[in-house]
């Protein structure tokens, strides 16, 4: 059976029964507990809610509820998703949400078994982070028109994201007080509410100083907003708006639109540091990774870069 297109999957999802009150209460109780106990990020919470609600609605259509689902129901649902063409990565995220939900029910004494206990996660293909070449980064950084307040803001944001390896959610959520130009550091609140200090390079400091002195007052329009980066009128810039400006400046720099996104700047930061001899532990701290294994994927990128250099320049490459 051929897999369904995303549009067809959305149509199938619309046809599922509405969420039962009991399932909705169970999901929201679980999410509240996750936030209180672990400080789960907002995006993670939204993903858990979406995955659990999808399974609950499918279960209601099959004559059951979410909280009482057994292992056979989980197998059936995963098989249904596989037939509809959901990716292994999507199913792995779903299984993570289900494991956390049923572990919570087990701790509360609302179940005596965990139906996810013997379910193996799907095998995920290893994908290397995409990074732009250093010349492409230079072209991207030079693309904004710094003679306008918005262009000067864009240049400061791009410089800061590349200089500090920030996640886009971290960048747009920065308060104005996060920057200490005298000491040359940035205070970043990362995943799980973990705080880290990231040093700023001279270029990032220069453009931040110009933005704060020349552009931010104009964008604030007489207000005193708490956020560092603003829209005209003093409103905080959204993740989607930053994605659009990255796309626009990438096009101006003649970068393939399929190769550029806000997260590519973070990947480029990490890859370029390793290519220039940075220590892996130091990179882990700069990126805010809780596990070194997450950072180690960048060593594969650096290794591929060295292999290409060798093949291009070595007499026997």
Residue 52 has pLDDT above 80, yes or no: yes
Question: What does the alpha-carbon distance between residue 269 and residue 282 come to, in Å, rounded to a whole number?
Answer: 13
User: What is the pLDDT at residue 258?
Assistant: 86
CB atoms within 10 A of CB 171: 22
Q: Which of 130, 247, 263, 305 is catalytic?
A: 263
For 183-215, what is each residue's pLDDT tens digit? 988 998 888 788 888 888 899 999 999 999 999
Q: What is the pLDDT of residue 148?
A: 96
Q: Is 276 a catalytic residue?
A: no
Is 211 among the residues known to form the active site?
Answer: no
| Amino acid 140: pLDDT | 96
CA dihedral 131, 134, 137, 139 (to 10 degrees): -140
Q: 77, 86, 211, 298: which one is catalytic?
A: 298
Q: Catalytic annotation on 289?
A: yes
pLDDT of the residue at 315: 57
Q: What number is the average pLDDT over the span 237-265?
A: 91
> Out of 155, 267, 272, 289, which one is annotated catalytic?
289
pLDDT exceeding 70 applies to what percent of the chain? 84
* Range scoring the smallest mean pLDDT among 9-23, 159-173, 188-202, 211-225: 9-23
Of the candidate ranges 142-146, 177-181, 266-270, the one whose mean pLDDT is the lowest: 266-270
What is the mean pLDDT of the segment spanning 131-147?
94
Catalytic choice (249, 266, 267, 272): 266
Which of 176 and 125 is assigned the larger pLDDT? 176
Whether pLDDT at 244 is above 60: yes
* 249 has catalytic annotation: no
Alpha-carbon span 40 to 31, nearest angstrom? 9
SS3 144: coil
pLDDT of residue 266 exceeding 70: yes
Cα 60 off chain centre by: 31
Q: Which residue has the tokens 């920065």?
A: 174
Q: What integer is the mean pLDDT of 70-83?
A: 88
| Max avg pLDDT among 59-68, 103-112, 122-131 | 103-112
State how far the Cα of 260 lies from the Cα of 246, in Å rounded to an integer: 8
- pLDDT value of position 85: 80
Query: What's the pLDDT at 193?
Result: 80
Residue 158 has pLDDT above 90, yes or no: yes
262 contact partners, CB below 8 Å, separation of at least 6: 161, 168, 171, 239, 242, 243, 246
Q: Could you confirm whether 167 is annotated as catalytic? A: yes
Of 191, 210, 239, 305, the active-site residue reads 191
Give the per-residue pLDDT at 234.
Answer: 87
Active-site hit among 167, 249, 267, 272: 167
Residues 160, 171: contact at Cβ < 8 Å? yes
d(CA 295, CA 286): 10
Residue 177 has pLDDT above 70, yes or no: yes
Please give the average per-residue pLDDT across 45-74, as a whole number: 87
Q: Which two tokens mark 173?
A: 């959520």
User: Is the pLDDT assigned to residue 134 strictly greater than 80?
Assistant: yes
Q: Please state the φ and ψ torsions of residue 294, each to the nearest 5 degrees.
A: -65, -40
Residue carrying structure tokens 């509240």: 32
317 has pLDDT over 60: no
CA distances to 139, 215, 218, 230, 242 from 147, rounded to whole Å, are 17, 9, 13, 17, 19
Domains present along the chain, CATH in parentheses: 6-107 (1.10.150.130), 134-313 (1.10.443.10)
């Amino acid at each position: 059976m051929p897999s369904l297109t995303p549009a067809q999957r959305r149509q199938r999802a619309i046809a599922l029964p509405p969420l039962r009150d009991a399932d909705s209460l169970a999901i929201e109780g679980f999410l509240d507990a996750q936030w209180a106990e672990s400080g789960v990020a907002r995006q993670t919470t939204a993903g858990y809610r979406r995955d659990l609600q999808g399974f609950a609605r499918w279960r209601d259509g099959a004559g059951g509820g979410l909280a009482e689902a057994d292992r056979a129901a989980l197998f059936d649902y995963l098989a249904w998703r596989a037939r509809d063409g959901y990716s292994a990565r999507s199913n792995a995220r779903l299984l993570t949400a289900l494991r956390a939900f049923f572990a919570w029910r087990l701790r509360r004494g609302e179940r005596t078994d965990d139906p996810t206990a013997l379910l193996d996660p799907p095998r995920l293909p290893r994908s290397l982070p995409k990074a732009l070449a250093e010349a492409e980064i230079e072209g991207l950084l030079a693309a904004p028109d710094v003679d306008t307040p918005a262009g000067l803001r864009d240049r400061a944001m791009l410089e800061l994201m590349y200089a500090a390896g920030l996640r886009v959610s971290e960048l747009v959520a920065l308060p104005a007080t996060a920057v200490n130009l005298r000491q040359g550091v940035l205070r970043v609140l990362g995943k799980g509410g973990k705080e880290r200090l990231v040093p700023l390079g001279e270029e990032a400091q220069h453009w931040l100083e110009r933005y704060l002195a020349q552009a931010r007052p104009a964008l604030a329009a007489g207000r005193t907003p708490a956020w560092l980066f603003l829209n005209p009128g003093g409103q905080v810039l959204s993740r989607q708006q930053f994605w659009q400006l990255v796309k626009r400046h990438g096009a101006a720099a003649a970068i393939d639109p399929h190769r550029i996104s806000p997260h590519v700047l973070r990947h480029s930061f990490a890859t370029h540091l390793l290519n220039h001899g940075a220590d892996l532990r130091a990179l882990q701290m700069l990126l805010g990774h809780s596990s070194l294994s997450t950072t180690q994927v960048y060593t594969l990128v650096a290794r591929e870069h060295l292999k290409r250099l060798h093949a291009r320049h070595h007499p026997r490459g």
